[in-house]
Amino acid sequence: MITPANRPSYSGDTKPFVWAGISLAIPSEWETGQLGEGYALLEYRFRPAMELKTAPIRGRFSFPRHLKQLTRSGLNPSPPPVKQIPPPAEWPDFPPEAELACFSWKGDHLSGQGLLYYCRQCCRATLLQFYDPVGDMAPRVLASFKDHDTQSGPTFAVYDIAAVLPEAYRLTRFAFNAGRFELVFSHAGAVVTLWRWSPADVLLARAKGHLTPIVQANGLLPAVAAQDPGHPVEQGLEWRWPNSSWRNRLGRLRTASAPPVNALRIWHRPDANRILAVGAEGVAEGDIFDRICRSYGII
Amino acid sequence: MGLFRKKAAAPRLSRDEALRCVPVKSGAIQASRTTDDVIRLRYPLVLKPWIAELARRFSSSPAKPPARQLELDELGSLTWDLIDGHRSVGDIVRQFARQTQVHPKEAETAVTQFLRELGRRGIIGMAPGQRKGNNRKG
């Protein structure tokens, strides 16, 4: 039930949310609640605000079949029945290559509405559902929806972090634990890992103000670079080390030019009370590593 | 058959209900602040009655019940200080997130895990919370 006390209030500011290839501008008051493969739950004041599920579709798209699949693939094993509805008048127009169907549902304590969107160009189906009483934000969020051509923005923007990675890199592993986030991207044998720790002041106090103990405690450096004190970069430290001999030879065979880059950069963001780090193994150019580090930040 | 009867499962709380609960410190806890400005808790061990009886008979000081010490880290000490018998779990989470600048979701995970651990050791109890409009506290 919506009462004046639990009616949402928004400042009007937005922030990016990018996950599983879907890009949205969400109200700055919404927070990432849960993430999975092709799944995201956004929350407002610790209550569900919006849920996103996305998957590539092989073969013909069928609204009833894929709606059933996507509603069952969430966390709720027995979701309430959904009712197909005409698109609400205030929702934005979508591009002509999209097939969409809107629906609403009502459970014991929660209700909401959403849409199943299928893009014929990228053959991807996306289900977005908005939980009441935040449904009135739906038109603004839907107007920002992008499921392809997202290269101009970040590759991911979740919780409080965002970064841009080269298009070919795919997210292969992620873990969001309290205090420590880790995302692993890979492409053609190269691996890029991004870390984020918080609160930085507590961690740095335990490490007597140095970043090296944090690197050591998390095992971020291979044995070959473990004795190297690292060279200073802005607010942090950086290490570079050569490939193992067989990898080096293979790398040189593949790319006749410079050998692949292995590096780790860790830096402190005192303004946000966070520590960020980027690790690269076998990345083709040093420039890619630098660009990833520059793009990685707090939102 | 009463001995082997399965205990009835405790009713499951929804997330909203859990966040509305109010943690209350046990009266048997002795809390002190160390020189490192962290909290040290001394709490009585909760023993099964027959083990307690054995401990009482064979202990060198039977009048003193067995106790344990637990030293909290900085974040645990901060959470302990926020437990005042009035703040709900949700209020503590929000206050913790504000004071440490961690993401609200991380604060929720960290604080609820910590409170669960304190509850398991009998250091705190949980009082059912009152339903508020939006469960917010400045």
Same domain membership, residue A173 and residue A55: no
Same domain membership, residue A117 and residue A177: no
Selected residues 6-25 of chain B with any CB under 8 Å from a CB in chain A:
14-16, 19
pLDDT at A46 (0 to 100): 86
Same domain membership, residue A74 and residue A24: yes
Same domain membership, residue A227 and residue A118: no
Q: Is there a domain that residue A155 lies in? A: no
User: pTM for the complete prediction?
Assistant: 0.84
Minimum CA–CA partner of A180 in chain B? B106
| CATH number for the domain harbouring residue B41 | 1.10.10
Q: Is there a domain that residue B104 lies in? A: yes
**What's the number of domains chain A is made of?**
2
Q: Is there a domain that residue A190 lies in? A: yes
Same domain membership, residue A186 and residue A128: no
Same domain membership, residue A167 and residue A130: no
pLDDT at A45 (0 to 100): 86
Same domain membership, residue A217 and residue A186: yes
Q: Is there a domain that residue B81 lies in? A: yes
Nearest to A178 among B15, B73, B110 (CB): B110
A178 close contact with B: CB closer than 8 A:
yes
Minimum CA–CA partner of A298 in chain B? B103
What ipTM was predicted for this assembly? 0.81
Q: End of a domain among A82, A112, A143?
A: A143
| CATH number for the domain harbouring residue A37 | 3.40.1000.10
Same domain membership, residue A173 and residue A74: no
The distance of A273 to chain B (nearest Cα, Å) reads: 7
Which of the pair, A59 or A139, is modelled with greater confidence? A139
**Secondary structure class of B26 (helix, strand, coil):** coil
Minimum CA–CA partner of B106 in chain A? A178
Same domain membership, residue A90 and residue A28: yes
Chain A residues whose CB is inside 8 A of the B15 CB are: 46
Decide the pairing of beta strands A98-106 and A190-197: unpaired
**What's the number of domains chain B is made of?**
1
Residue A46 and residue B106: Cβ atoms within 8 Å?
Answer: no
CA proximity to A203, closest of A183, A218, A188, A182: A218
Same domain membership, residue A215 and residue A135: no
pLDDT digits (tens, 9 = 90+) for A189-245: 899 999 999 999 999 999 999 999 999 999 999 988 888 888 999 999 999 988 765
Structural domain span for residue A259: 161-298
In order along its 138 residues, chain B shows pLDDT tens digits of: 455 666 666 667 888 889 999 999 998 899 999 988 899 999 887 777 787 777 777 777 666 677 889 999 999 999 999 999 999 999 999 999 999 999 999 999 999 999 999 999 889 999 987 765 544 443
Structural domain span for residue B32: 15-127
- Complete DSSP assignment for chain A: ---TTTS----S-EEEEEETTEEEEEETT-EEEEEETTEEEEEETTEEEEEEEEEE--S---HHHHHHHHHHTSS-SSPPPEEEEPPPTTSPP--TTEEEEEEEEE-SS-EEEEEEEEETTTTEEEEEEEETTSGGGHHHHHHT-BSS--TTS-SEEETTEEE---TT-EEEEEEEETTEEEEEEEETTEEEEEEEES-HHHHHHHTTT-SHHHHHHTT-S-GGGTT---EEETTEEEEE-PPPHHHHHHHHHH-SSSPPEEEEEEEEETTTTEEEEEEEEEES-HHHHHHHHHH-EE-
